[in-house]
A and B are shown apart, each in its own frame.
Chain A
Amino acid sequence: MNVATEHRPAPRLDLERIQADFPILSEQIYGKRLVFLDSAASAQKPRQVIDAERMVYEREYANIHRGVYYLSQRATDAFEAARETTRAFLNARDVREIVFLRGATEGVNLVAYSWGLDNLKAGDAIVLSTIEHHSNIVPWQLLRDRLGFEIRVAPVDEEGQIDMAAYRGLLDERVKLVAMTHCANSIGTVTPIREIARLAKEQGAVVLVDGAQAAPHLPIDVQEIGCDFYVFSGHKTYGPSGAGALYGRGELLDAMPPWQGGGEMITRVTFEKSRFHEVPHKFEAGTPNIAGTIALGVALDYITGLGHEAILAHEHDLLDYAMARLGEINSLRVIGTAREKAAIVSFTLGDIHPHDVGTILDREGIAVRVGHHCAQPTMDRFDLPATVRASFGIYNTREDVDALHDGLRKTLEIFA
């Protein structure tokens, strides 16, 4: 993460205001202040997002793209406005390139079954990396079992960074797709995604980027990255669950067959044949998450309103502070120390099982994720069954890091 080094002071987040925006942060857990360090699993929601979703139901709810009446038009307009917001968030060229879905998982599956089924065959290869989330592994395995292509895996070094030389070595004319994460949820590595995409393109491969973890932390520019597909989930960007988006390069989306069939995605249906809508509607069969998608637009506006530069500076500070405070604990080992890293710290504490650490922290009001983080190949790479993961968001503070530190000390005492 390169924070712009200009000669003006870096913009800062107004933390008090942000915390006041998130109602859940005033909840008490077992009588203690909630210290929420699991935003990488799902982020909390600001009042603006909650209000937006409620507002839709109270003031402008109707099904979209089909009613001739006022409310349906209003809901449709709001839904389509969210598409423009998402386009701008990803810096896609055209609003037609934004397909609304449930989230990153559904995005990968859409690409696998629409693009993949038509474009991959026995003798081809695709490239993933060790540090993928299961949602960018399993859909490809399911398809591989049907089509017989080869899955190649770009390894990571001890720090958890993609081994670029090894990656280059995997690329040859058989490689038709590179599907890789922009930021690893399990250990926080931010991958050199532009370079990854550039090398893949040199081989003529299509590039899918899993942006589920990058979207809440990093500015995203799909044109600059040079990818063909980019997926993310609204619930990790302070938006509702069940709302997310797929960016697909226009020419590719146009050429791809529909994935799911149903209402909304057709222009004319007879039993002999159906004609399909244009993109993106071709890929949006059935009634979507209307209110959630509208609120997703509000969540993206919220992030943009805070400013990526300020978010990066804040999260960098938290990461540095967390590494320093956790570094004071001798038996603590951080997994994933990439130079480019989001504010996600995965670690083990002596030989205390992460599950026990999680239970003890929980009683202190501290929510962390323990386990394999839907990234078992990453755990295998570091020869661990599980880690404790603290992940930070815009609302976290240095006090939260201190609370984590104290909670870990207490854990050590119990196991002394």
Chain B
Amino acid sequence: MFDLQDLYQEIIIDHSKRPRNFGPLEGANRHAEGDNPLCGDQIKVHLIVDGDTVRDVRFEGRGCAISTASASVMTDTIKGKPVAEVKALFEQFHRLVMGEEEPGSDVLEVDRLGAFAGVRDYPMRVKCATLCWHTMNAALEGQDDPISTE
């Protein structure tokens, strides 16, 4: 049996109700939009990339608890990190929610990304957790087309 509490952990509920880094970002030099047509969710990610570093990041949009919390935790996590490390985290996060990697790795625990491990038992919700990451990645790569999870 899956326990709903595994999916809706306290930290996820908390970040979904009080998203960090929410709103427009003055001076942002990278932007991307993402859509989840399944639920109509939309997200915008704004970045200030300074050389090789993500100096600041904020997001806007409405979505479910999983997608809002994921964006909130993601922005907290990647702020101030080198672009290469952010990309590696994206890969790792993706493997985590796809069930390809066990939670417990140091980086994920420290940055609370591990809280999203429960998503693996809810295949229809994986897209909710990864939309912000895909969108952020698109912003990093300077893609202009809206990202879709479909």
Binding site for B on A (CB under 8 A): 30-31, 352-356, 359-360, 363, 370-372, 376, 379, 385-386, 414-415
Q: In B125-141, which residues have CB < 8 Å from any A CB?
A: 125, 128
Partner of B8, one of A31, A385, A386, A414: A414
Whether B62 is near chain A, meaning CB under 8 Å from some CB there, is yes
Output the nearest chain A residue to B121 by Cβ-Cβ distance.
A363
A360 with B4, Cβ < 8 A, contacts A371-B40, A385-B41 known: yes
Q: Which residues of B have CB within 8 Å of A360?
A: 4, 8
Output the nearest chain A residue to B122 by Cβ-Cβ distance.
A359
Interchain CB contact under 8 A, B40 and A385? yes
A353 with B2, Cβ < 8 A, contacts A359-B7, A371-B38, A385-B41 known: no
Whether B65 is near chain A, meaning CB under 8 Å from some CB there, is yes
Interchain CB contact under 8 A, A356 and B64? yes
With the chains together, A302 CA to B39 CA distance in Å? Answer: 35
B60 to chain A, nearest CB (A): 14
With the chains together, A353 CA to B36 CA distance in Å? Answer: 14
A371 with B39, Cβ < 8 A, contacts A385-B62, A415-B65 known: yes
Interchain CB contact under 8 A, A376 and B1? no
Q: Which residues of B have CB within 8 Å of A371?
A: 38-40
Partner of A415, one of B5, B13, B40: B13
A352 with B40, Cβ < 8 A, contacts A31-B1, A363-B4 known: no
A414 with B13, Cβ < 8 A, contacts A352-B65, A363-B2, A363-B4 known: yes
Binding site for A on B (CB under 8 A): 1-2, 4-5, 7-8, 13, 17, 38-42, 62-66, 68, 122, 124-125, 128
Interchain CB contact under 8 A, B40 and A359? no
B19 to chain A, nearest CB (A): 12
B97 to chain A, nearest CB (A): 14
Partner of B125, one of A31, A352, A359, A372: A359
B8 to chain A, nearest CB (A): 5
A353 with B64, Cβ < 8 A, contacts A363-B2, A363-B4, A414-B13 known: yes
Q: Which residues of A have CB within 8 Å of B122?
A: 359
With the chains together, A31 CA to B1 CA distance in Å? Answer: 9
Q: Which residues of B have CB within 8 Å of A354?
A: 39, 64
Q: Which residues of A have CB within 8 Å of B41?
A: 355, 385
B125 to chain A, nearest CB (A): 6
With the chains together, A250 CA to B75 CA distance in Å? Answer: 62
Q: Which residues of B have CB within 8 Å of A30?
A: 1-2
B120 to chain A, nearest CB (A): 14
Output the nearest chain B residue to A376 by Cβ-Cβ distance.
B40
Of A30, A355, A379, most B-chain CB atoms within 10 Å: A355
Of A30, A352, A363, most B-chain CB atoms within 10 Å: A363
With the chains together, A386 CA to B40 CA distance in Å? Answer: 7
Q: Which residues of A have CB within 8 Å of B7?
A: 359
A-B contacts, 7 of them at CB < 8 A, read: A31-B1, A353-B39, A353-B63, A353-B68, A359-B4, A359-B122, A385-B40
Q: Which residues of B have CB within 8 Å of A355?
A: 39, 41, 64, 66, 125, 128
